Amino acid sequence: MFRKFIVWFVFISFAASTAALAKPTVLFVNPSIINEPFWLKTEMITQAAAADLDIQLDIVYGGGNRLIQFDEVRRYLQYQKKPDYVIFMNYPGGAKPMMSLLEEYKVPFITLENNILDEERTQVGLPGENFTYWLGEIFYDHQQAGKLLASDLIRQYQKHHTESATVIGLSGHHGQESLARNQGLLESVAQSEAVSLGQIVYASWSEQLAYQNTLKLLKRYPKTAMIWSASDLMGYGAIRASKELGLIVNKDVFIGGFDWLNPSLEKIIQGEMSASVGGHFMMGAWALISIADHMQGIPYWSHSKSKQLIFELELVNQDNVASLLPLMKQNQNAWIDFDFRQFSLQNQAKAGYQFSVEKIVSNLKPSNTSLAK
């Protein structure tokens, strides 16, 4: 009997100590495929933040498709221990099923980007309205970002030319993110007397499709001098098409995109690309910091009126590209010396989050002009 008691006591003590040492688990749903450049960087930075915050980060992949993403999350919830939180991005048409699934399992979640439109937005409402476990959403002002990129391309063009010219646009898909970026382009063109819009076409975030569309558009609009792209990858397709038609980038045509991919920074340094807007690969880390605070009882999400964190993206061109190189390293080791806990609201008298790419850059080790691929 005494021996049984000892065994029972040791078992209970071990279980208690294990539970005390167990890290909280957050499931990060990468909406794309493994090693897709933008989401790979987002994933790595989120992992670095998780290490600082002492969080176990699990990752599943959505495969670039709302149905695949739903199935992957459902499979995880069925066969793995229930996570403490989930971070994911909604695909248009997939918001209600995904949120309903997480409600069924009673898992608090934060959404990235604001991709929900019209009737679907009415169905799901705002965070906390129709879905109790929806803590909030983190996204960027894509309309401002679209305008920022277009305005800089126009500025660069007018720095070298005085005649009127045409700008063409390569958009991603029929979602809120793309529509907002498109609207920024339209606003910028409307405010310029020397620039007119040729056409905006959708290229599904594809470099190859952007290349094919750009060949057609450049022949259709021979006065094109600026190509605005909703992603860097599509911008690469535009660069390839422009060169094929004998145009010189940053002389005959000015091309910009979104995402701050490492090759984009190299291209800007080398004069093969004009500008890129980015910083949104930090959004997984920002969500994780807010989750760490939520676990510690910081009432930000419960007290925030809109339950939204909205940030502005930033522009990189030849004027400031050198200062951003430390941020572009494509490996987790680049983030070892940076402590994401400094952005937490714990023990700070700040009313809201002050997430800043500039603050991160100032704390990372300097880099040379060769980016780690």
Task: Using the CB atoms, write b or e for 292-321: b if 16+ within 10 Å.
Answer: bbbeeebebbeebeebebebebbbbbeeeb
Average pLDDT taken over every residue of the chain: 88
Run of H or E residues at 330? none
What's the pLDDT tens digit per position in 40-79? Answer: 989 999 999 999 999 999 999 999 999 999 999 999 999 9
CA 316 to CA 309: how far, in whole Å?
23
Pull the structure tokens for residue 169.
């646009």
28: three-class secondary structure by DSSP:
strand
Identify the bridge partners of residue 311 per DSSP, sorted by sequence position: 140
* Average pLDDT over every residue of 300-311: 78
Using an 8 Å Cβ cutoff, are 261 and 231 in contact? no
Using an 8 Å Cβ cutoff, are 142 and 181 in contact? yes
Using an 8 Å Cβ cutoff, are 101 and 72 in contact? no
pLDDT band at 21 (very low <50, low <70, confident <90, very high): low
Pull the structure tokens for residue 349.
């008298």
CA 217 to CA 200: how far, in whole Å?
9
Maximum separation of any 2 CA atoms in the chain, in Å: 96
Of residues 133, 83, 91, 130, the one with CA closest to residue 108: 133
> Percentages helix, strand, coil for the chain, rounded to the nearest 5?
50, 20, 35
Identify the bridge partners of residue 255 per DSSP, sorted by sequence position: 227
pLDDT at 365: 57
The CB density around residue 72, as the number of other CB atoms within 10 Å, is: 17
27: three-class secondary structure by DSSP:
strand
CA 309 to CA 287: how far, in whole Å?
9
pLDDT at 368: 42
Could you tell me which residue, 263 or 114, shows the higher pLDDT?
A: 263
Q: Where do we find the tokens 């145009």?
A: 247
What's the pLDDT tens digit per position in 260-299? Answer: 988 999 999 999 999 999 989 899 999 999 999 999 988 7
pTM recorded for the entire structure: 0.81
* Average pLDDT over every residue of 234-248: 97
Where do runs of H (alpha helix) occur along the chain?
2-21, 37-53, 66-79, 95-105, 118-124, 142-160, 176-190, 207-220, 232-244, 262-270, 283-295, 300-303, 321-324, 357-363
Does the structure show a pLDDT above 70 at 334?
no
Q: What is the dihedral of CA 212, 154, 175, 236, to 10 degrees?
A: 40
